[in-house]
């Protein structure tokens, strides 16, 4: 019981950390001051930029990750869909260990890349002996499953495909939901079937996910848990950046979500299900992969989990499981020429910055990037005065030139060091030099992926589409 | 948690770095005709040769002579001019010019084409003037050069700039240049395009003009070819071989050529070509971006628009084929090729323009000429230019290899420089001397440090900007500092030293106690600033240091002085020095002599002090700027039979030199050593090796180079701090005070001491500067320059070194003298001042300088003491003449501490055989001078 009280206390501190953090930081004695060079080294360690070589809807993406837990519990995967023009990427914020997040981040994309393929194509490909990795190409992938685990996952995947082929094609939204739920079920089955401490670890740790699926102009954001996705739209009239949220976080602030959970359980449990903003006073996100401590029946837990991990694995007030689901909310959005970029990030970022702040920061970054390129003059006559005016405009921009070329790093730097009057180095230094045992109180793992859309290409696609539809109506 | 993922080294940095490297655009050539061995050489050299077809190679191989007297590398304007002048001297048939691409370059108009003479020194001005005259005469011969004498209009926006124009106007009379100081309205008359906003006046040079550098280059080459010079294009130099320290053979892509002389005129690539020999010839140059703006043709643009320079706006412009060509020199230049890899081809030298960098200059141009706002852009070119670390041309014979000449660093002024450079280099090659003193441009003014790539990168940011800055006295560079420092530097810094740099050495110029610490309480590194032509901001500091040296004890750091040790087993070292020096060096052991090293014309190549440490061991002390130069001179003129026997070692970096000067120095030094320092045992102009404090082996010279009583201590570096602390501690009771270079300089100017590089140069003879008593004609050896000096003694000197004290000059309000002011005798121009300063005892401006005697027909007559003393003198300072009193010998300054020895000694004497008054040093066989 004491432990849970402690957890509650941590939860309380975490929730209020924004208010007390800076004062508390000042109180921590003798933190080493990092030099700007060291700070850059830390912030840029996990940077990645990918420019798509071909003309597509996506121009490039930039991503970065800053760990707080050791090891970092966030994962990210980005991939191009094969056999069609598409892109898929996801951010996975693990809790209770990194295992679930790591596994889901790899497998979920494979499931979805297969599920959204037309059934006939899928059938043909599978007959030719395809594996789980045949339907996508990962861009920043430098790890794979160990040999003992790989066949188990491959087996589950094949089972999933076999079922899939039997079922008729659904729309993308349903396929996404189906894949989420199916993968989550697989995790449980694998754990119970193999009795391996590793597969059990995956099932008992948890992860929230935010996944972006883009094919043509059709953008789907599937989100389970408290990651966030926000679209940056450039208002063509005012030239201002507008944010558009593409998901709702599943946490205690989301009244609809709280209501859903309460409705699914008997009235007697109203006071115990959600306490201190947490599920069973333990779990902050209200939906997640894994976390079978909140999903399995009491018997399963008693027989399978408690002997392996001990009595404390049993949550308090555990009466009518499952309390948790992996089913995502899916939002659909059709891309428009004014949609310039999409930011998805784990809650580590949203703790510090609001969606509108994020969009304006990335927007500024986009503007300043133009300035970093050498000036090009249009052909034809141009007077020296015109050039001078143009240069003056650029000069104003040059002064605001960001330190980071990667927008994700730019966001992390602002999240940690942003003040009303600009970036404060000492603040970042404090955050980065906090001792391991307390750092988690002040900042969570942060993972960010910024996807840039190619407006020219979108405009072209839109035009083609119109052409086709008008033809259709004309006929 | 359990590790489920096989961890693979996460290395996304490599992928994340996606730089588009347009900095270095190399030619991708895989020439099948380049054999692997060649390739090795060329890779080392870091640029690849131009692709040549096998056919062309064969054809070239046939053309290539196996022998030539002079091989010139580089077919740019400098190389062309050298070839042309060699042709004129009749060496055309023996000269070969090799160019790796096409001669003249492929890019016309990557230069402004000004042929002008607005230069800072007499030498540079004369070279530029000759170039202009040459272009004019080539045009008159009917060669296309694009020459038009449109004049140059130089605008000034502030008082200091106008003062510098006025100084130039004063100098112009002496230097034979036409110019006129204009009011703003007159400027507008000369060029109606400009706006007068902020303009305070201008300087008009009517004889300047513009030309097309491309055409001029071809004109030189055509003429050179006519005179027999062979020009081979598409042929790159691979290696320069030397034997016995002299050029022997040049290896090219089209075969070998045996040669006697090699001239590196490769301009932009000169530093890299320097690496093609062993030892490497160091040509310190760094490439920076340089923009030229071309507009589209402008209606009714006057073709005779003058060449306009707005120095304070850092821009210039000219009319060029109906349009405007403009450019400028930005405050901080943009470096290129920081990795040192210079591309070979002309095309790669052209960079994409950086508009943001040019912005400041563009706005400045539009401010000056509002009508250009509507002009249409044709293009902005960014052609790279190389600059030397001091923003001066680099000329002369390399110190590393004899007969290897360099002409480089023309800093965008190729046309103005080329003619003169061609002429003087040809003189040096064919005759061994020329008609101008070149020491400020000589390649021997550098040390190895100047060729350090990082140093160049640091310094050359600043160098181009200097080009258009006001030529203030004692200007210092802000970059490339704290490079050479004496061991007592930290102590000096703490004591408030404000530094100046000479040969990379940080030397305290004066000491300022205000604001000497930074915000952490640490001593601040401060660079001396004068930034005025009037009373300098350091006046009071120097006054107090000066008084300390005259009345108490001053302590100064002389460490930057050049120090050589010369020794031999037998008597060879004496033989060598007797041959090189004009004074008699065979003096008693322990004596010090001042002597010049004369050139065959009697001029000073070096003015040094020699201390005879032992029978066969001398120590030479020479000015700081002589470090490379005097070694070259000694090596080059060492008779062959002495070469294996005499050792000459540069020990500059082994000793710290501390000078204590003032009436109490003898007492002070006596406290720290057991040796008797009384004049009887340690007289003036002698040397002793002493123990000082707890240290030993300190070479103490009883001279100060200022005329004060005192000693210079040459201390092995590891003892330097110890000796310094002991001196400073013991000196406290005498109120010892630090003295900087400006204070010692003020002392020596008042005492009428000449310094090489400032008063003396390669054209000054000892007879002209009152030092004939230091020339021993009766030495049993025909020393260098003896016959010339003898002849001069017979004929009388044509100019004489004088000291002038200005009357009625108010040092608070009037412009000061800073050197190069014209001297008038009875209203007639007779010469220029060399060094000048404020005499704190005389309380007057003191000028040192030379006067001539030119009669009405322009004939130069001998100058006698009577002639000098009989005139009425005036010195013109920035357009204002001040009456002056003349001195021919060092004065005796009033003092509270009379000292017989020093009063008897006059550095500069009006009578050649003035009696020596140092009678009491009779225990030495020869008195030391």
| pLDDT given at position B206 | 93
Q: Which residues contact B263 (CB under 8 A, 6 or more apart)?
A: B70, B71, B72, B73, B79, B82, B405, B406, B407, B425, B429
Among A46, A99, A384, whose Cβ lies nearest the Cβ of B4?
A: A99
Residue A316 covered by a domain: yes
Q: Which residues contact B249 (CB under 8 A, 6 or more apart)?
A: B240, B241, B256, B257, B258, B259
* Chain B residues touching A385 at Cβ < 8 A: 366, 373-374
* Chain A residues touching B8 at Cβ < 8 A: 142-144
Q: Residues B537-588: pLDDT tens digits?
A: 999 999 999 999 999 999 999 999 999 999 999 999 999 999 999 999 999 9
pLDDT band at residue A392, thresholds of 50, 70 and 90? Answer: confident
- Find out whether B450 and B462 touch, Cβ atoms under 8 Å: no
What is the rounded CA–CA span in Å between residue B199 and residue B86?
45
* Chain A residues touching B12 at Cβ < 8 A: 46-48, 140, 142
Residue A428 covered by a domain: yes
Per the rule left: phi > 0, alpha: psi between -120 and 50, beta: everything else, B199 is beta
Q: Which residues contact A185 (CB under 8 A, 6 or more apart)?
A: none
Which residue does chain A place closest to B361, by CA atoms?
A388
Mark yes or no for CB contact A197/B15 under 8 Å. no
Among B2, B354, B377, whose Cβ lies nearest the Cβ of A384?
A: B377
Checking if the pLDDT of A325 tops 70, the result is: yes
What is the rounded CA–CA span in Å between residue B351 and residue B354?
9
Instruction: Identify residues of A whose CB sits under 8 angstroms from chain B CBs.
Output: 44, 46-51, 71, 97-99, 102-103, 140, 142-146, 149, 197-198, 201-202, 205, 374-375, 377, 381-385, 387-388, 391-392, 394-395, 398, 406
Is the omega angle on the peptide bond into residue B168 within 30 degrees of 0, that is, cis?
A: no
| pLDDT given at position B33 | 43
Query: Count of CB atoms within 10 A of residue B364's CB?
Result: 18
Residue A102 covered by a domain: yes
Which residue does chain B place closest to A141, by CA atoms?
B10
Residue A16 covered by a domain: no
Output b/e per residue, A59-91; b: 16+ Cβ within 10 A: bbbbbbbbbbbeebbbbbbbbbbeeeebbbbbb
| pLDDT given at position B4 | 45
Domain that holds residue A94: 30-473
Checking if the pLDDT of A14 tops 60, the result is: no
What is the rounded CA–CA span in Å between residue B380 and residue B348?
16
Burial of A399 by CB count in 10 Å (0-12 exposed, 13-18 middle, 19+ buried)?
A: exposed
| pLDDT given at position B106 | 58
Mark yes or no for CB contact B18/A395 under 8 Å. no
- CA B73 vs. chain centroid, Å, equals 24
Closest CA to B65 of B209, B235, B296, B276: B235
Output b/e per residue, B714-723; b: 16+ Cβ within 10 A: bbbeebbbeb
* Chain A residues touching B16 at Cβ < 8 A: 47-49, 406
- Whether B3 and chain A come into contact, CB under 8 Å, resolves to yes
* Least confident range of A88-92, B15-19, B88-92: B15-19
Mark yes or no for CB contact B377/A201 under 8 Å. no
Per-residue pLDDT, averaged over B460-465, amounts to 89
Distance from CA of A150 to the nearest CA of B (A): 10
Per-residue pLDDT, averaged over A100-119, amounts to 91
| pLDDT given at position B352 | 84
Give the residues across from B237 on adjacent strands: B252
Q: What percent of chain B has pLDDT over 90?
A: 70
Mark yes or no for CB contact A49/B16 under 8 Å. yes
What is the rounded CA–CA span in Å between residue B688 and residue B677?
10
Q: Residues B420-442: pLDDT tens digits?
A: 999 999 999 999 999 999 999 99
| pLDDT given at position B687 | 94
Mark yes or no for CB contact A198/B4 under 8 Å. yes
What is the rounded CA–CA span in Å between residue B377 and residue A382?
6
Q: Residues A396-446: pLDDT tens digits?
A: 777 667 788 889 999 999 999 888 777 888 888 888 888 888 888 888 999
- How does the average pLDDT of chain B come out, rounded? 88
Which residue does chain B place closest to A406, by CA atoms?
B16
Is the Cα torsion angle B422, B424, B425, B426 positive or negative in sign? positive
What is the rounded CA–CA span in Å between residue B121 and residue B757?
13
| pLDDT given at position B58 | 67
Chain A interface, best mutation among B13, B14, B16, by max A CB count within 10 A: B16
- Find out whether B811 and B842 touch, Cβ atoms under 8 Å: no
- Whether B19 and chain A come into contact, CB under 8 Å, resolves to no
Query: What domain count does chain A have?
Result: 1
Give the residues across from B300 on adjacent strands: none
Checking if the pLDDT of B845 tops 60, the result is: yes
Rounded to a whole number, what is the distance in angstroms from the first to the last CA of chain B? 89
What is the rounded CA–CA span in Å between residue B661 and residue B675?
19
Residue A37 covered by a domain: yes
In the 8-state DSSP scheme, what is residue B449?
G
Distance set, CA B448 to CA A159, B270, B277, B551, B872 (Å): 75, 16, 16, 41, 48
Structure token digits, residue B612 = 């005879």
Mark yes or no for CB contact B375/A383 under 8 Å. yes
- How does the average pLDDT of chain A come out, rounded? 85
Residue A454 covered by a domain: yes
Which residue does chain A place closest to B12, by CA atoms?
A48
* Least confident range of A86-95, A177-186, B694-703, B910-919: B910-919
What is the rounded CA–CA span in Å between residue B675 and residue B681?
9
| pLDDT given at position B614 | 95
What is the rounded CA–CA span in Å between residue B665 and residue B687?
16
Among A144, A149, A395, whose Cβ lies nearest the Cβ of B359?
A: A395
- Find out whether B854 and B824 touch, Cβ atoms under 8 Å: no
In the 8-state DSSP scheme, what is residue B148?
B
Per-residue pLDDT, averaged over B485-513, amounts to 95
Q: Which residue has the higher pLDDT, B699 or B38?
A: B699
What is the DSSP pairing of strand B646-650 with strand B497-502?
unpaired
Mark yes or no for CB contact B2/A201 under 8 Å. yes
Go through the domains of chain B in sequence order and give each one's CATH number: 65-146+209-287+378-471 (3.50.50.60), 147-208+288-377 (3.30.9.10), 796-904 (2.40.30.110)
Which residue does chain B place closest to A198, by CA atoms?
B2
pLDDT band at residue B6, thresholds of 50, 70 and 90? Answer: very low
Is the omega angle on the peptide bond into residue A71 within 30 degrees of 0, that is, cis?
A: yes
Residue A17 covered by a domain: no
Residue A19 covered by a domain: no
Among B16, B352, B376, whose Cβ lies nearest the Cβ of A383?
A: B376
Q: Which residue has the higher pLDDT, B712 or B344?
A: B712
CATH (domain of A272): 3.60.40.10
Q: What percent of chain B has pLDDT over 70?
A: 90
């Amino acid at each position: 019981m004491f432990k849970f009280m402690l957890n509650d206390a941590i939860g309380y501190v975490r929730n209020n950390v924004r208010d007390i953090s800076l004062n508390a930081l000042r109180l921590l004695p003798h933190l080493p001051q990092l030099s700007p060079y060291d700070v850059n080294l830390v912030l840029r360690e996990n940077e990645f930029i990918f420019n798509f070589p071909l003309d597509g809807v996506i121009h490039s993406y930039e991503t970065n990750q800053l760990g707080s837990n050791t090891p970092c519990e966030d994962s990210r995967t980005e991939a191009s869909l094969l056999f069609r023009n598409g892109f898929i990427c996801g951010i996975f914020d693990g809790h209770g260990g990194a295992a679930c997040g790591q596994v889901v981040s790899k497998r979920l994309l494979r499931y979805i890349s297969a599920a959204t393929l037309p059934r006939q194509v899928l059938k043909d490909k599978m007959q030719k002996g395809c594996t789980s990795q045949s339907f996508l190409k990962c861009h920043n992938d430098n790890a794979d499953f160990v040999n003992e685990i790989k066949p188990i996952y491959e087996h589950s995947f094949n089972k999933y495909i076999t079922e899939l082929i039997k079922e008729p094609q659904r729309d993308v939204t349903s396929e996404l939901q189906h894949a989420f739920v199916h993968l989550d079920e697989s995790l449980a089955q694998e754990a119970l079937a193999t009795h391996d401490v590793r597969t059990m670890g995956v099932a008992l740790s948890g992860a929230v996910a935010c996944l972006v699926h883009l094919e043509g102009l059709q953008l789907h954001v599937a989100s389970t848990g408290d990651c966030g996705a926000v679209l940056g739209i450039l208002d063509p009239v005012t030239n201002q950046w507008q944010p558009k949220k593409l998901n709702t976080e599943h946490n205690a602030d989301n009244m609809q979500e709280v209501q859903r959970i309460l409705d699914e359980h008997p009235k007697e449990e109203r006071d115990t299900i959600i306490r201190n903003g947490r599920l069973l006073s333990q779990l902050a996100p209200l939906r997640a992969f894994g976390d079978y401590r909140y999903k399995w029946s009491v018997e399963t837990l008693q027989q399978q989990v408690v002997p392996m991990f001990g009595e404390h694995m049993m949550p308090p007030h555990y009466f009518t499981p499952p309390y948790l689901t992996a089913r995502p909310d899916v939002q659909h959005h059709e891309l428009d020429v004014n949609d310039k970029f999409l930011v998805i990030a784990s809650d580590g970022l949203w703790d510090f910055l609001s969606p509108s702040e994020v969009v304006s920061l990335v927007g500024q970054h986009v503007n300043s990037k133009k300035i970093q390129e050498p000036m090009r003059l249009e052909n034809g006559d141009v007077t020296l005065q015109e050039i001078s005016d143009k240069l003056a405009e650029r000069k104003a921009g040059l002064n605001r030139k960001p330190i980071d070329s990667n927008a994700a790093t730019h966001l992390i730097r602002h999240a940690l060091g942003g003040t009303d009057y600009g970036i404060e180095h000492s603040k970042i230094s404090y955050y980065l030099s906090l001792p391991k045992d307390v750092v988690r109180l002040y900042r969570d793992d942060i993972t960010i992926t910024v996807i840039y859309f190619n407006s020219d290409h979108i405009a072209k696609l839109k035009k083609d589409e119109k052409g086709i539809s008008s033809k259709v109506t004309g006929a | 948690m359990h590790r489920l993922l096989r961890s693979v080294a996460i290395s996304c940095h490599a992928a994340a770095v996606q730089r588009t490297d347009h900095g270095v655009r190399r030619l991708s050539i895989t020439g099948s005709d380049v054999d692997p061995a060649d390739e090795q050489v060329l890779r080392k050299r870091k640029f690849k040769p131009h692709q040549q077809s096998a056919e062309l190679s064969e054809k070239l191989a046939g053309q290539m002579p196996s022998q030539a007297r002079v091989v010139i590398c580089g077919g740019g304007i400098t190389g062309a001019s050298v070839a042309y002048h060699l042709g004129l001297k009749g060496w055309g048939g023996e000269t070969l010019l090799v160019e790796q691409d096409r001669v003249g370059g492929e890019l016309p108009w990557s230069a402004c084409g000004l042929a002008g003479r607005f230069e800072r020194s007499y030498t540079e001005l004369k070279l530029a003037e000759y170039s202009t005259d040459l272009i004019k005469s080539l045009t008159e011969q009917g060669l296309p050069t694009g020459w038009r004498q449109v004049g140059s209009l130089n605008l000034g926006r502030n008082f200091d700039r106008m003062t510098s124009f006025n100084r130039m106007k004063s100098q112009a009379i002496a230097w034979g240049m036409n110019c006129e100081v204009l009011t703003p309205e007159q400027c507008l008359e000369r060029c109606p395009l400009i706006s007068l906003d902020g303009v305070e006046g201008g300087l008009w040079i009517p004889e300047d003009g513009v030309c097309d550098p491309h055409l001029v280059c071809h004109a030189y080459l055509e003429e050179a070819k006519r005179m027999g010079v062979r020009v081979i294009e598409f042929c790159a130099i691979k290696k320069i071989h030397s034997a016995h320290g002299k050029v022997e053979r040049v290896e090219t892509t089209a075969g070998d050529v045996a040669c006697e002389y090699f001239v590196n005129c490769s301009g932009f690539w000169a530093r890299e070509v320097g690496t093609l020999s062993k030892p490497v010839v160091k040509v310190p140059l760094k490439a920076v971006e340089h923009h030229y703006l071309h507009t589209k043709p402008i209606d009714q643009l006057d073709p005779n628009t003058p060449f306009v320079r707005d120095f304070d706006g850092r821009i210039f412009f000219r009319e060029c084929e109906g349009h405007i060509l403009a450019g400028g020199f930005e405050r901080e230049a943009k470096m290129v090729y920081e990795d040192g890899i210079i591309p070979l081809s002309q095309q790669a030298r052209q960079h994409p323009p950086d508009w943001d960098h040019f912005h400041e200059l563009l706005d400045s141009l539009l401010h000056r000429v509002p009508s250009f706002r509507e002009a249409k852009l044709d293009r902005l070119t960014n052609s790279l230019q190389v600059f030397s670390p001091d923003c001066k041309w680099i000329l002369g014979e390399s110190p590393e290899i004899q007969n290897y000449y360099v002409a480089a660093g023309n800093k965008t002024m190729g046309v103005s420089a080329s003619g003169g450079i061609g002429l003087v280099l040809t003189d040096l090659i064919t005759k061994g001397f020329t008609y101008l003193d070149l020491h400020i441009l000589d390649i021997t003014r550098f040390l190895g440090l100047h060729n350090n790539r990082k140093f160049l990168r640091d310094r050359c940011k600043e160098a181009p900007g200097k080009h258009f800055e006001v030529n203030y006295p004692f200007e210092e560079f802000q970059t490339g500092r704290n490079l050479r420092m004496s061991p007592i530097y930290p102590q000096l810094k703490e004591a408030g030293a404000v530094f100046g740099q000479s040969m990379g050495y940080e030397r305290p110029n004066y000491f300022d106690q205000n604001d000497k610490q930074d915000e952490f309480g640490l001593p601040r590194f401060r660079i001396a600033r004068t930034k005025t032509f009037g009373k300098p901001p350091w006046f009071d500091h120097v006054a107090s240091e000066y008084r300390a040296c005259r009345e108490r004890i001053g302590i100064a750091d002389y460490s930057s002085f050049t120090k050589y040790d010369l020794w031999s087993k037998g008597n060879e070292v004496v033989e060598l020095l007797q041959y090189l020096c004009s004074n008699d060096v065979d003096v008693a052991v322990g004596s010090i002599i001042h002597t010049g090293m004369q050139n065959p014309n009697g001029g000073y190549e070096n003015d040094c002090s020699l201390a005879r440490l032992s029978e066969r061991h001398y120590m030479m002390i020479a000015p700081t700027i002589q470090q490379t130069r005097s070694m070259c001179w000694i090596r080059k003129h060492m008779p062959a039979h002495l070469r294996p026997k005499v050792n000459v070692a540069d020990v500059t970096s082994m000793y710290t030199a501390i000078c204590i000067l003032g009436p109490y120095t003898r007492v002070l030094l006596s406290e720290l050593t057991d040796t008797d320092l009384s004049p009887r045992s340690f007289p003036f102009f002698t040397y002793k090796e002493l123990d000082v404090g707890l240290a030993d082996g300190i070479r103490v010279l009883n001279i100060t180079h200022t005329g004060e009583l005192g000693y210079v201590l040459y201390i092995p570096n590891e003892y330097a701090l110890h000796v310094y602390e002991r001196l400073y501690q013991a000196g406290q009771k005498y109120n010892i005070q630090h003295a900087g270079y400006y204070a010692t300089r003020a002392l020596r100017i008042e005492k009428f001491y000449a310094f090489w590089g400032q008063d003396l140069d390669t054209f000054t003879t000892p007879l002209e500067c009152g030092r004939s008593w230091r020339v021993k004609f009766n030495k049993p050896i025909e020393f260098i320059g003896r016959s010339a000096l003898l002849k001069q003694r017979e004929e009388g000197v044509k100019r004489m070194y004088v000291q002038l004290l200005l009357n009625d000059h108010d040092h608070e309000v009037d412009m000061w003298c800073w050197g190069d002011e014209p001297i008038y005798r009875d209203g007639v121009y007779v010469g220029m001042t060399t060094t000048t300063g404020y005499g704190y005892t005389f309380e007057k401006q003191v000028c040192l300088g030379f006067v001539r005697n030119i009669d009405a027909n322009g004939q130069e007559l001998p100058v006698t003491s009577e002639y000098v003393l009989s005139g009425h003198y005036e010195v013109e300072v920035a357009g204002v003449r001040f009456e002056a009193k003349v001195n021919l010998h060092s004065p005796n300054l009033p003092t509270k501490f009379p000292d017989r020895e020093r009063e008897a000694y006059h550095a500069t004497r009006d009578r050649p055989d003035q009696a020596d008054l140092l009678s009491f040093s009779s225990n030495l066989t020869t008195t030391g001078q």
